[in-house]
Amino acid sequence: MKFFKRIPFICLALIWSFACFYAGSFSTYVHQNLCYSETLSILGENSIKIANSGEPIIFIKWAKFINDLPIAGYESNCAEILEHVKQGVKNEF
């Protein structure tokens, strides 16, 4: 009989744990999207500048820079890519 008295508490604990899990996964999802949006924005702005510059040497440097991005497919770390992009744009372009 004591077990049946604990069922509501067990159910509440399960519901709370599921809610926390989904809140955390949603937060991570939003953060990743913001990170990739910022990265693509920086790359897009600088690609337009480099394309309009008309200098082949800068275009070749940009192509090498893009090729050197630390992209590992599904396992890519957006923060690492963003840091690489910010440093490269600041130092090279």
Please write the tens of the pLDDT for every residue from 2-50: 766 778 888 888 888 877 777 776 666 777 889 999 999 999 999 999 9
Residue with tokens 């009989």, as numbered in its chain: 1
Query: Once rounded to an integer, what is the mean pLDDT over residues 48-58?
Result: 91
Q: What is the pLDDT of residue 20?
A: 77
Higher model confidence: residue 2 or residue 51?
Answer: 51
Gyration radius of the chain's alpha carbons: 23
User: Which residues form the domain of 8?
Assistant: 2-92
Closest among 44, 33, 45 to 78, alpha carbons compared? 33
Q: pTM to 2 decimals?
A: 0.68
Residue with tokens 């744009």, as numbered in its chain: 89
Number of domains in the chain: 1
